[in-house]
Structure 1
Amino acid sequence: MMTTIILCILVGIIFLAYHTTYVKTSTVKLTIPSVPPLTLVHLSDPHGRIRFWNGELHKLVNVHEPDLVMVTGDLTQHSGQLARVLNQLAKVKSKDGIFFVPGNYEREAGRFQKRVYSAAVSRSQKEAWQQVMTVLENESAVIEKDGSFIWIYGFDNSIYGNERHTEKEIRQANLTIFLAHSPNIISLIHNEGLKADLLLTGHTHGGQVRMFNRTVGAYKHFHIGQKEDPFVGVFGISRGTSRLPIRLNCFPEITVYMINPS
């Protein structure tokens, strides 16, 4: 009897560990006229986690040979993990760059009792991010690709109310991509009537626990994955790659957007 109980406990632990640390790849195919074929990888919410059941983060990304990589915040759980995470992202091979918007854990640390980073620590961290990625804090970047212009705008909603926007380049782009950490940004986008082809966010971790295809944990009011939206074309919310505290039926995720695949 005791042996059976121990065996059941071990099986349960392995089952939860698998759901919590095995990264799945979600592939989304999109048709967007006037841009060349592109492979875009979306990462979010690693919270310091760079190694998984099925490999290191950079290897899981590089196998897709991305043109662009988008990272939507919460790189670490605390600042002591930052160098290790950035070293991993530095190994990512993205033909046209890695683009980053900060999350709430870029502004504060701690799980139960959070403390806000000082201005000096924030500056130091931003300098470290910029060594590896293009940082967009209410800023834009424009990429020319085979004669087409890709406009990437990053909303800084790492602190609610901090997000700003500009409409300057939107009309000039063949492809417009919005980035934000929290999917709450959709309210500002709708209220302001902003337009894009793709919005990428994270923050929710997919709720971490799902039963009967429904979120049991937090953020039940947000969808998981992609849905059509009249303002941003496709609104994507990543489950992220974090493992906190456990996951069930909500695997860590790397999302690969294949735009105009040949």
Structure 2
Amino acid sequence: MIVVFAVFAAIAAVIYLFYETVHAEVVETRIVSERIRSELKIVQISDLHGRTRFWTGTIGDIVDSLKPDIVCVTGDLFNRLDQLPEVMRELSRLECEYLFFVPGNHEREERKYGIRRKFSEEEFVRVLREIGVRKMRVLANEGELIEVKRSDVYVYGFDNSLYGRERYAAAQDDTEGAFRLMLAHSPGIMSWLDKRSIGYDLLLAGHTHGGQIRLFGKPLGPYGRYHTGLKEVAPGRFAYVNRGLGTVHLPFRIGCRPEISLIRVTPLR
């Protein structure tokens, strides 16, 4: 009897871990801004680590169903470099016109058979070139001014794939009055921006996986100091930390399902 119970308990645990790891959730939040004229839908995906298919559908199917105006991918597309072509095939399916990417630490290394190999700077550049070869716009310490639904949006992406790589170059275009959307892989960029008094309306980051394992709503590991989801860090200034889609180190999630975030930015009436 004990053996039977143990077998059923083990099966239940495996099913639970599988469900928590492959059941991607769309998490929707809303902010208000006086800088836009009509509602914008911004979708963020992060930390794929080679995973493109979920119980709820493929990344392309889920994201396209949301009909986003802007899609932001905040790094860590793969664990192994040989996963990148399949990831890019899936991301190239996205129908959104404005698709932006910023590099994470896993664009600088791969983990194969438990062995970590760091890329040379030349390999890193080749990886970014492969990511940007289709319609993805790679932003590594640079920005782009776009017009979406009659609203000006200044999108700036940081390269904090290694700490200390971040640079901010003031916009050459006239961005006065534009909605300032900033992208980075690590949420550590928040303190970097604060120290330099660099303003933004919305910052999107990932990297933490929300802890990947959360017990009683609290993440295990070193990322407990960062919030998960949306936070108003100052009046009219928001930061969203996405808990990611894939896994690293451990091949499962607990209490921290994969996330695709949808942020609706609505005008101040």
The answer to whether the superposition gives a TM-score over 0.5 is: yes
Q: Which residue of 2 aligns with 1:40?
A: 42
What SS does the corresponding residue of 1:127 show, helix, strand or coil? helix
Quote the Cα distance in structure 2 between the aligned partners of 1:115 and 1:34. Answer: 44
Within the alignment, does 1:126 sit opposite 2:128 as a pair? yes
Quote the Cα distance in structure 2 between the aligned partners of 1:108 and 1:204. Answer: 17
Equivalent position to 1:186, from 190, 193, 213: 190
Deviations 1:8-28 (A, max 9, x none): 110110011111111011101
The residue identity in structure 1 corresponding to 2:79 is: Q
CA contact (8 A) 2:145 2:175 kept: no
Q: Which residue of 2 aligns with 1:205?
A: 209
Within the alignment, does 1:16 sit opposite 2:17 as a pair? yes
Within the alignment, does 1:98 sit opposite 2:99 as a pair? yes
Q: Which residue of 2 aligns with 1:252?
A: 258
The residue identity in structure 2 corresponding to 1:49 is: R
Deviations 1:161-191 (A, max 9, x none): 0000023358524200010000011111000
User: Superposition RMSD on alpha carbons, in Å?
Assistant: 1.8
Gaps of 5+ in 1: none
Quote the Cα distance in structure 2 between the aligned partners of 1:172 and 1:101. Answer: 24
Within the alignment, does 1:54 sit opposite 2:60 as a pair? no
Deviations 1:34-55 (A, max 9, x none): 4121111000000000011221
What SS does the corresponding residue of 1:31 show, helix, strand or coil? strand
Quote the Cα distance in structure 2 between the aligned partners of 1:46 and 1:231. Answer: 32
Q: What TM-score comes out, normalization by structure 2 length?
A: 0.92
The count of corresponding residues between Structure 1 and Structure 2 is 261
Gaps of 5+ in 2: none
Q: Which residue of 2 aligns with 1:147?
A: 150
Quote the Cα distance in structure 1 between the aligned partners of 2:225 and 2:235. Answer: 19
Shift of 1:5: 1.3
Quote the Cα distance in structure 1 between the aligned partners of 2:63 and 2:24. Answer: 11
The residue identity in structure 2 corresponding to 1:226 is: L
CA contact (8 A) 2:47 2:246 kept: yes
What SS does the corresponding residue of 1:7 show, helix, strand or coil? helix
Greater displacement, 111-120 / 238-247: 111-120
Quote the Cα distance in structure 2 between the aligned partners of 1:175 and 1:225. Answer: 20
CA contact (8 A) 1:62 1:93 kept: yes
Deviations 1:189-248 (A, max 9, x none): 000001010000000000011111111233111111111112871111000001332211
Quote the Cα distance in structure 1 between the aligned partners of 2:101 and 2:131. Answer: 8
What SS does the corresponding residue of 1:29 show, helix, strand or coil? strand
Quote the Cα distance in structure 1 between the aligned partners of 2:99 and 2:201. Answer: 19
